[in-house]
Structure 1
Amino acid sequence: MNLDPGLVGIWSLAFTHGDRGAACEAAAELEELGYGTLWLGGNPGGNPRGDLVTTAGLLAATSRTVVAPACVSVWHQSAPALASTYQALPARMRNRLLLGLGVGHPKTDQDYHRPYTSLCAYLDELDGLDGSLAPIPRAARILGAHGPRMTWLAATRAAGVHPHLTTAGHTVRTRELLGDGPLLAPSVSVVLETSPSTARATARAALAPYLAQPNYANNWLSSGFTADDLADHGSDHLIDALFAWGTLDRVTDRITEHLQAGADHVAVQVVTDATYGFPLTEWRTLAQPLKQPSSPGRV
């Protein structure tokens, strides 16, 4: 099994929370625009299951693009149920499905406990080590992770790692930890707006659900931000580091920065005031300057 995510994909909450018919239409257009992967985004407290029914619909609406539920919560989807649903899909769909797995958030997941040990046990089940179910191949799963221990687990038990809301500096450090081989696919959140006040207000609204989550806060603090940066809806310094905003050239440069820093693939989240809307105009605008060869690899 050899999934090719391409260099650039689209990460969107609309795939998970929006109208399914509109999602399928958008998926077909995004494939024609040349995006390599469609990431089904999720946010803290919202649809943590990673709906494979929606995933199957997007796979059916496309023919080449990889479809990736960004983070299936191990607390809300048992390994046997996930493996059964995965194996029930036609092979032509499974060959383009990249399952994002994660441990969720301690403030919104009631069952949250011993995240590293619990994720290891979950992966054991997906590997079919007890013989009770057909395994989900390592190449078909990617872990949503930020810290060194979870990143190393991703390198050894999955295709790679999918960090969210991180900086290019974090991408450099993650690549150093992973070494060559494992897939590094960070998401990059962008606001196509040149007014600083407007762009930052839009970004702050998108960041709000994550600021209260200890796992995200700890990652930002370990990346050099301070408690003051995380206070009062996020400092300008934090917003400007986590969100690419401004002109088209400035935004595409920030995306390319992650590829130069060691990413194999960048999942682009276009942030607008319509949280669960389909920003087709922005996706079309970004498509040409981001157009890259389909095979993954660092530039």
Structure 2
Amino acid sequence: MTSVGVVTPFWLDRPPGEALDIAVAADETGFGALWIGEMATFDAFALATAAGLRTSRIPLRIGPLAAGVRSPVALALGLSTVAETTGRSCSLALGASSPRIVTQWHGQPWEPVRRMRQTVRDTRAILNGERVAGFRLRHPLAGTPISVAAFGPAMTRVAVQEGDEVVLNLVSAAHVADVRRRAGELPLAVWVPAALDPGPDTLRQLRSQLAVYLAPPGYGEMFTALGHGSLVDQARAGRPRAELAADIPTGLVEAVGAIGSADDVARRVGEYFAAGADHVGLVPATAEDPAGRRLLGTLAPLLPTRHR
């Protein structure tokens, strides 16, 4: 069964509190999940608690959070806090993140594959009520799904072996199809930037996000395969992000997003499902559509949005 959820984005050109407005809009329009990640604004568990208290029914999917930053005990305590204080269905997603975030921001070693594998195993055991390293969670959340964000083959293998779902972000439908072949029957979720009839400010917002992903391994190769290798080379050579963003063509935004009329966006979501996705998380652009209300309200009747 396919479903569509909503991702709380952290646009640098928008007020931080808009994340809560997006949560309310997603809940009111009946979307099947609210994804709450983490960057440089809020602690994800704190934001999820606030979102749960502001909404009435939407399930909360916390993450992907960097597996190398919090211990399994901290992850289990955070998830338990959200579940107990909001009374809401919660799940957890973990990702490798990046060396900058893990080592520079948080002072932890960069061992993505080993750390992911052990973190998923230990966190799952704690959530199921087992004692790990002398710790036992007072209120277990047995059976809580743990998703793994993956891009390259190594992390995809970890996701298949240890996770309950593979999560992809900012990818083409062709990349989804490739991961679908490698993931077998494991559920597959993909985050897709979305905008209804985008104007210049919205396209600028989306291009700025894309510019961040031009250089990293895996993403750069995907964008090169899409015909934009020159931009990737420039990003890896150190060209400023603002300059790169200005040169990103609309076609590249369309290749990894869902933009245009309501029918265009719905059709694009359908292409991700056809490529093998089980769940699409819409990342609403909000530069010209505060909290994505127009996007979400228009699309809800056209998509499989209801809770599973």
After TM superposition, the score normalised by the length of structure 1 is 0.79
1:40 aligned partner, one-letter code? I
2:292 aligned partner, one-letter code? P
Match of 1:227 in 2: 229
Does structure 1 residue 152 correspond to structure 2 residue 157? Answer: yes
Deviation at 1:123, TM superposition (A): 2.1
* 1:84-233 to 2 correspondences below 5 Å: 84-90=77-83, 93=86, 96-110=89-103, 111-126=108-123, 127-128=125-126, 130-133=132-135, 134=137, 139-180=144-185, 182-193=186-197, 200-221=203-224, 225-230=227-232, 231=234, 232-233=244-245
What is the rounded CA distance, in whole Å, between the counterparts of 2:206 and 2:179 in structure 1?
24
Tell me, yes or no, if the aligned pair for 1:191 and 1:202 is still in contact at 8 Å. Answer: no
- Of residues 209-218 and 101-110 in structure 1, the stretch that sits farther from structure 2 once superposed is 209-218
Query: Equivalent of 2:29, from 22, 30, 33?
Result: 33
Tell me, yes or no, if the aligned pair for 2:195 and 2:295 is still in contact at 8 Å. Answer: no
Deviation at 1:216, TM superposition (A): 3.1
Deviation at 1:75, TM superposition (A): 3.0
Tell me, yes or no, if the aligned pair for 1:14 and 1:278 is still in contact at 8 Å. Answer: no
Question: Which runs of 5 or more structure 1 residues have no equivalent in the other structure?
Answer: none
1:216 aligned partner, one-letter code? Y
Deviation at 1:165, TM superposition (A): 0.3
- Of residues 92-101 and 32-41 in structure 1, the stretch that sits farther from structure 2 once superposed is 92-101
Match of 1:12 in 2: 8
Task: Rate the CA distance shift 1:125–1:69 in 2: closer, same or farther, 3 A.
Answer: same
Match of 1:283 in 2: 296
2:113 aligned partner, one-letter code? Y
Tell me, yes or no, if the aligned pair for 1:144 and 1:162 is still in contact at 8 Å. Answer: yes
1:107 counterpart SS class: helix
1:163 counterpart SS class: strand
Tell me, yes or no, if the aligned pair for 1:34 and 1:291 is still in contact at 8 Å. Answer: no
What is the rounded CA distance, in whole Å, between the counterparts of 1:31 and 1:163 in structure 2?
23
- Of residues 23-32 and 237-246 in structure 1, the stretch that sits farther from structure 2 once superposed is 23-32
Query: Equivalent of 2:76, from 79, 83, 96?
Result: 83
Deviation at 1:213, TM superposition (A): 3.2
2:301 counterpart SS class: helix
What is the rounded CA distance, in whole Å, between the counterparts of 1:124 and 1:280 in structure 2?
38
What is the rounded CA distance, in whole Å, between the counterparts of 2:222 and 2:43 in structure 1?
23
Aligned CA RMSD, in angstroms, stands at 3.3
Tell me, yes or no, if the aligned pair for 2:31 and 2:306 is still in contact at 8 Å. Answer: no
Query: Equivalent of 1:251, from 258, 265, 278?
Result: 265
Tell me, yes or no, if the aligned pair for 1:206 and 1:271 is still in contact at 8 Å. Answer: no
What is the rounded CA distance, in whole Å, between the counterparts of 1:74 and 1:209 in structure 2?
21
Does structure 1 residue 67 correspond to structure 2 residue 73? Answer: no
Deviation at 1:206, TM superposition (A): 2.1
1:122 counterpart SS class: helix
Question: Which runs of 5 or more structure 2 residues have no equivalent in the other structure?
Answer: 235-243
2:291 counterpart SS class: coil
Tell me, yes or no, if the aligned pair for 2:4 and 2:31 is still in contact at 8 Å. Answer: yes
2:134 counterpart SS class: coil
Deviation at 1:78, TM superposition (A): 2.0
Does structure 1 residue 53 correspond to structure 2 residue 53? Answer: no
Deviation at 1:229, TM superposition (A): 4.2
Match of 2:239 in 1: none
1:146 counterpart SS class: coil
What is the rounded CA distance, in whole Å, between the counterparts of 2:228 and 2:26 in structure 1?
38
Percent pairwise identity: 23
Tell me, yes or no, if the aligned pair for 2:7 and 2:283 is still in contact at 8 Å. Answer: yes
